[in-house]
Amino acid sequence: MARPLPGAPAAQALLAEAARRAGRLAAPPGLALVRVGDDPASVAYVRGKARKAAEVGLRSAVHALPEAAPQAELLALLGTLNADPAVHGILVQLPLPPHLDPEPVLGAILPEKDVDGLHPVNIGRLWAGQPGLRPCTPAGVMALLAFYGLPVAGQRAVIVGRSALVGRPLAALLLNANATVTVAHSRTPDLGAVTREAELLIVAAGRAHLITPDMVRPGATVIDVGINRVADAPGQGRLTGDVHPDVAAVAGALTPVPGGVGPMTVAQLLMNTVLAAEAPAGQEGRGGRFR
Ligand SMILES: Nc1nc(=O)c2c([nH]1)NC[C@@H]1CN(c3ccc(C(=O)N[C@@H](CCC(=O)O)C(=O)O)cc3)C=[N+]21
């Protein structure tokens, strides 16, 4: 049976480090959480982030705009938050309602306050191997691997999924950490032939139980980033990953869903906020304060 890789102890360690470093600053790091509309999952995630922020000594504020808010209203809010010296980090919860275009919205956040690491400047820094704020879920995956002492350098890593939020930035982080990286996706022919090559298999495809035991190299480390809500009881949504539970019989190590990567995402967001608060304004590219 695969070694389980629960997120809770790794997230606890990251949160403790964030709390310790937040406590050494002259003022508490400030995090602005921006949400548009009432998607129940987004409401729940933002509430969870605010609760954890308070636990580690961060000041957070939730800015909830109505579903029909025009783009100009959202951009005006971001302008106010950019100019507020007590706000060190800004997160716009995705997905936005369909009438809003995420690209100009993410681009309107100051790169040094972009704790989601999704501003084009931070994407460019990541791919260039330069310091910058890194996207929370991929950085959380790297922190989870480090916590459990799992090797990355020299490993043959396969990522399934090429999203802007997870697959793409994770490819850059693994490459920067000296893994040999393949990015597969929904249009990869014979996906199993590719995933079977992986010593480190990271799945962020958004399809429940896409990865079955026959697609996994025996002994591989498997990280399941998928969060799928399946309705197998009336009126109830249970969470399950992109990796079939039977993979535990083949893999060497496996993250659970829920309780795996999810808690790491939140912990990394708060660590990013501390990093943003630590960096003197204007030094974000040179100081090496951001990893
Ligand atoms: N701008 C932006 N940045 C994000 O980082 C971002 C986002 N938008 N939109 C949505 C996704 C999703 N996301 C998760 C955060 C925590 C859990 C988490 O804590 N999950 C728990 C279970 C939560 C539950 O029970 O629903 C777990 O896996 O154990 C999951 C998913 C951040 N995202």
Ligand 1 nearest atom to the CA of residue 257, by list position:
28
pLDDT in tens, 39-64: 999 999 999 999 999 999 999 999 99
Query: 281 falls in which pLDDT band (50, 70, 90)?
Result: low
Q: Is the pLDDT of residue 118 over 60?
A: yes
Residues tagged in the binding site annotation for NADP(+)? 161-163, 227
Do 149 and 155 touch, CB atoms closer than 8 A? no
Q: Output the average pLDDT for the chain.
A: 95
Sequence-ordered list of residues with C-beta below 8 angstroms from that of 174, at least 6 positions apart, any chain: 142, 152, 157, 159, 181, 200, 202
Q: How many residues does the chain have?
A: 291
Catalytic residue numbers, as ranges: 49, 93, 116
Domains and CATH numbers, the chain: 26-110 (3.40.50.10860), 136-264 (3.40.50.720)
Closest by CA position to 32, among listed 59, 13, 5: 59
Q: What is the mean pLDDT of residues 216-240?
A: 90
Rounded-to-integer distance, Cα 151 and Cα 134, Å: 20
Q: Is the pLDDT of residue 286 over 50?
A: no
Query: 237 falls in which pLDDT band (50, 70, 90)?
Result: confident
Q: At what angle do helices 167-176 and 120-128 cross, to 10 degrees?
A: 30
State the pLDDT at residue 234: 65
261 CA → ligand 1 middle, Å: 9
- State how beta strands 180-184 and 156-160 pair: parallel
How far apart, in Å, are the Cα atoms of 209 and each of 88, 202, 203, 232?
38, 13, 10, 14
Among protein residues, the one whose CA lies closest to atom 1 of ligand 1: 93
Among protein residues, the one whose CA lies closest to atom 17 of ligand 1: 262
277 CA → ligand 1 middle, Å: 23
State the pLDDT at residue 235: 61
Rounded-to-integer distance, Cα 262 and Cα 229, Å: 14
Ligand 1 nearest atom to the CA of residue 92, by list position:
1
Do 221 and 141 touch, CB atoms closer than 8 A? no
The percentage of the chain sitting over the pLDDT mark of 70, rounded to a whole number, equals: 95
Classify residue 154 as left (phi > 0), alpha (psi -120 to 50) or beta.
Answer: left
Tell me the two tokens of residue 289: 């304060």
pLDDT in tens, 182-214: 999 999 999 999 999 999 999 999 999 999 999
Closest by CA position to 88, among listed 273, 256, 250, 222: 273
State the pLDDT at residue 287: 44
